[in-house]
Amino acid sequence: MGLSALPERRMPAPLNVGSLVNFLLGWLVSTVAVWLALKIFPGEQKRESFAGAALTALAGAIVFWLFRLVEIPFGTVIAWIVWLYLLKRLQGVGWLGAAILAVLIYIVNTVFGFFLPTLL
């Protein structure tokens, strides 16, 4: 068995100014999406402020980045469960509330996705 039979492993993109700017812009957009979702969601959450939304968005970005990095089977499903748990803990809602918040965040991000590529 030669070296060519080994599976090719993707390396993460190198850290440079462009990737840092992309990360920061993505984090800002996600923060606004989380903040809007928190404002739409009925009731008051623990961290409904913009800073709380930024923390929540950063936690989600880290979770999905880590699971993409380690490439384990069903990593995306596990990442979603961890993300729901973090939403639950960070925002002080139950599992159903975390799921509804996740759907709201997804919808807001999708709407942003229609407009932002033309603006940036």
- The predicted-structure confidence for 82-118, as pLDDT tens digits, reads as follows 989 999 999 888 999 999 999 999 999 888 888 876 5
Q: What is the DSSP string of 11-63?
A: PPPPP-HHHHHHHHHHHHHHHHHHHHHHHHSSS--TT-SHHHHHHHHHHHHHH
- How many other CB atoms are there within 10 angstroms of residue 7's CB atom? 4
Domain ranges of the chain: 20-119
- pLDDT score recorded for residue 11: 55
Looking at the predicted structure, is the pLDDT value of residue 47 above 90? Answer: no
